[in-house]
Amino acid sequence: MQKTVKVRVTRLVLDTYLLKYYNKRKTYFAHDALEQCTVGDVVLLKALPERRTKHVTHELAEVVYKVGNVVDPLTGKRVAAYQYLEPLSDPAELSAERLTEKIQQLNLTATATPSH
Amino acid sequence: MPMKGRFPIRRTLEYLQKGEVVFKNSVKIMTVNYNTQGELSEGARKFVFFNVPQIQYKNPWVQIMMFKNMTPSPFIRFYLDDGQQVLVDTEGKDYREITQHIKKIMGKTPEVLQAEALAKMVASNPANFGPKKYCLKECMCEVEGQVPCPGVVPLPKEMTGKWRAQMRAAED
């Protein structure tokens, strides 16, 4: 299959007797023009306005998390489960002069604050 | 069915219906990234345990997905209709704070909800009788306090058309 990806989509469905939500799987075929996906990627699909072929009804909107190369959206750094693969702050920024500059910019004074 | 498991109250209809967050129509997908270990994800874990069933019950057409242990920091992401994405950082927050924040940014306001409830009430007018699909009752005999259906309980003699016709004939 060229330029097509098989995507498993899970939605939460309520079991009527147990009243608990379980993941229900459904597979969709999506059109991927650039063939950039591999097995294990988390992907965002967008419904096509009209059916492209008998089975392909959606297209790839974007790759959300690439397998092995997950990027944390909060910091923008590469990440692996519990750790950051890239250092969070630039090592040059942590030198003594830079830190003293930053502290001086904050303009802290030792006045006593009124207690509650 | 006995209440089995931790916090089985989460599995009652009353608890599910008490959910406060109703998303705006533009929200299509909600994604929760959290970790199974660690203090920082504690709020997100509790949010998923207690509040996600309520949210899904109130918003049956929103797709909710959970991702575990992918990034060191927990967050929630919303994917809207027009392709926009909203990122909510939940690191170190309490699950109640998270729900309130989400209600504020992505939820329908109480006024909008009231207006919708009113519109739904207008559609069902108790004064109309007809098929079950369109009206509440099919016949006046179904209303409590009214004359019961003569097909079930025979009418008193004085109310039948036959008796009234006989009386009218006797007078003449």
pLDDT of residue B87: 95
pTM: 0.78
Query: Among residues of chain A, what percentage have pLDDT more than 90?
Result: 61
Answer yes or no: are the C-beta atoms of B55 and B31 closer than 8 Å: no
Q: At A60, which helix (H) or strand (E)? A: strand A56-65
Structure tokens at B160: 């039948």
* Inter-chain touch A19–B11, beta carbons under 8 Å: yes
B142 strand-pairing partners? none
Q: Would an 8 Å CB–CB cutoff place B17 in contact with chain A?
A: no
- Section A80-84 average pLDDT: 88
pLDDT of residue B172: 83
Dihedral of the CA atoms A85, A89, A93, A98 (nearest 10)? -150
pLDDT of residue B1: 55
Flag residues of chain B having pLDDT under 70.
1
Q: What is the DSSP letter of A78?
A: B
Please state the ipTM of this predicted complex.
0.78
Partner A, chain B 33-72, Cβ-Cβ below 8 Å? 35, 37-38, 52-53, 56-57, 63-65, 67, 69-72
- Rounded-to-integer distance, Cα B46 and Cα B91, Å: 12
Confidence of residue A99 (pLDDT cuts 50, 70, 90): confident
Task: Dump the DSSP string for B23-75.
Answer: B-TTEEEEEEEE-SSSSTTHHHHHIIIIIHHHHHHH-TTSEEEEEESSSSS-E
- Section A29-49 average pLDDT: 93
- Section A2-28 average pLDDT: 94
